[in-house]
């Protein structure tokens, strides 16, 4: 497998940034719109963008090639990951949901050995764990962690880690555009089908806010809301390409610590959009996370020497 650590780290950091914008947008709509509708609109906007990328790369044959089973499996895992992740938003503060989700590198590091045969020295484990400590110091999760919806964020982290390792395992044979196209297509079909099934069963209300976000019936969005939800499609297209490429071109153990850079954006969006004021622990946690990233970057450079 090819290994371009610096390129992979840049891809991942940019992907995390653009997806953090989408998180803030979806949390805003979690109190009034159904998740299936938000994901469906977003996916419809992203579809032609990803289709154009596939066309540009000349990867049409790969769409129906011998890897359709792997592509479908990865898309299904990603659909489960993001559904669980977004369902946590209305029940948890954004900071708590993000903190739990950033256990992703722990899952990836644990699975990289059996799935990819990557042997991680103790220094790699130490850098990942150091980053996790930084997340805890930065966010100081409180009682929200005991909310049942917290399990949704943990489930999302595990599924996302599995999907990224699948991208790494088959990255030499499949382009990021093809994997992104399958993923987005499954999101569109899955959200539409889920909404149809819920409507047919007459399920349109739930007590818990996470479930209510899922089962709430579709409504006609205003022009402003539709535009903002549609913007998520553009953001998602860019994010899918960046994150998928990150795990295609670099080892999982190298890029995963940089998943933590997303924690730097959560306080900013929280302040701008939800009136959350960053605490002093934010600065301390950020410094720890940066230290963990620098350790991982040094290890990546050593691998290429």
**Residue 255: partners with Cβ closer than 8 Å, 6 or more residues away:** 5, 8, 9, 11, 12, 246, 247
Top mean-pLDDT range of 51-55, 194-198, 244-248: 194-198
Compute the distance between CA of residue 161 and CA of residue 2 in angstroms, rounded to an integer: 20
**Residue 89, pLDDT score:** 92
> 235 with 21: CB under 8 angstroms?
yes
Compute the distance between CA of residue 50 and CA of residue 182 in angstroms, rounded to an integer: 9
**Residue 266: partners with Cβ closer than 8 Å, 6 or more residues away:** 20, 23, 94, 95, 98, 139
Compute the distance between CA of residue 46 and CA of residue 234 in angstroms, rounded to an integer: 6
- Mean pLDDT, the chain, as a whole number? 81
**Residue 143, pLDDT score:** 47
pLDDT of 211 above 90 = yes
Which one-letter DSSP state was computed for residue 120?
P
Note the pLDDT tens digit of each residue in 29-65.
998 999 999 999 999 998 998 888 888 766 666 666 6
Which one-letter DSSP state was computed for residue 93?
-
**Residue 157, pLDDT score:** 86
Distance in Å from the first CA to the final CA of the chain: 16
> 254 with 11: CB under 8 angstroms?
no
Of residues 225 and 140, more confidently modeled: 225
**Residue 104, pLDDT score:** 76
Lookup: tokens for 182: 């399958």
Compute the distance between CA of residue 298 and CA of residue 305 in angstroms, rounded to an integer: 11
Q: What are phi and psi of 279, to 5 degrees?
A: -90, 170
Boundaries of domain holding 48 = 5-304
Lookup: tokens for 65: 């090639």
Compute the distance between CA of residue 242 and CA of residue 104 in angstroms, rounded to an integer: 17
Dihedral of the alpha carbons of 125, 89, 217, 159, in degrees to the nearest 10: 0
- Give the number of domains in the chain: 1
Q: How does DSSP assign 93-148, residue by residue? A: -HHHHHHHHTTHHHHHHHHHHHHH-PPPPHHHHHHHHHHHHHHHHHH---GGGGST
**Residue 237, pLDDT score:** 83
> 132 with 297: CB under 8 angstroms?
no
**Residue 113: partners with Cβ closer than 8 Å, 6 or more residues away:** 119, 120
Query: Sign of dihedral through CA atoms 30, 18, 247, 128?
Result: negative
Note the pLDDT tens digit of each residue in 91-125.
877 877 887 787 777 777 777 766 766 676 777 77
Lookup: tokens for 195: 């909404």
**Residue 84, pLDDT score:** 95
Spatial CA neighbour of 157 closest among 206, 223, 92, 88: 88
Dihedral of the alpha carbons of 206, 207, 213, 216, in degrees to the nearest 10: 40
CA-based R_g, the chain, Å? 19
> 64 with 181: CB under 8 angstroms?
no
Instruction: Give the rounded percent of residues in the chain with a pLDDT score beyond 70.
Output: 79
């Amino acid at each position: 497998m090819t290994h371009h650590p610096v390129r992979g780290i840049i891809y991942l950091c940019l992907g995390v940034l653009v997806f953090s914008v989408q998180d803030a947008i979806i949390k805003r709509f979690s109190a009034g719109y159904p998740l299936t509708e938000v994901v469906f609109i977003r996916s419809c906007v992203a579809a032609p963008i990803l289709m154009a990328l596939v066309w540009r790369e000349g990867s049409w044959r790969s769409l129906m090639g011998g890897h359709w089973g792997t592509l479908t499996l990865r898309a299904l895992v990603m659909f489960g990951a993001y559904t669980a992740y977004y369902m946590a938003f209305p029940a948890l503060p954004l900071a708590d949901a993000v903190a739990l989700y950033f256990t992703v590198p722990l899952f990836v590091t644990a699975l990289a050995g059996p799935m990819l045969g990557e042997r991680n020295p103790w220094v790699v484990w130490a850098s990942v764990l150091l980053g996790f400590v930084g997340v805890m110091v930065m966010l100081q999760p409180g009682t929200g962690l005991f909310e049942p919806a917290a399990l949704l964020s943990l489930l999302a982290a595990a599924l996302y880690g599995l999907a990224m390792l699948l991208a790494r395992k088959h990255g030499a044979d499949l382009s990021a555009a093809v994997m992104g196209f399958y993923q987005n297509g499954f999101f569109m079909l899955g959200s539409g089908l889920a909404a149809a099934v819920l409507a047919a069963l007459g399920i349109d209300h739930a007590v818990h806010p996470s479930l209510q976000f899922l089962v709430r019936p579709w409504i006609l969005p205003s022009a402003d809301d539709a535009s903002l939800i549609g913007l998520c499609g553009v953001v998602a297209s860019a994010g899918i390409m960046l994150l998928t490429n990150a795990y295609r071109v670099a080892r999982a153990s190298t890029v995963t610590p940089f998943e933590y850079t997303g924690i730097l954006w959560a306080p900013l969006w929280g302040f701008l959009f939800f009136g959350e004021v960053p605490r002093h622990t934010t600065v301390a946690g950020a410094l720890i996370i940066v230290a963990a990233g620098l350790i991982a970057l040094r290890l990546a450079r050593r691998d290429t020497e």
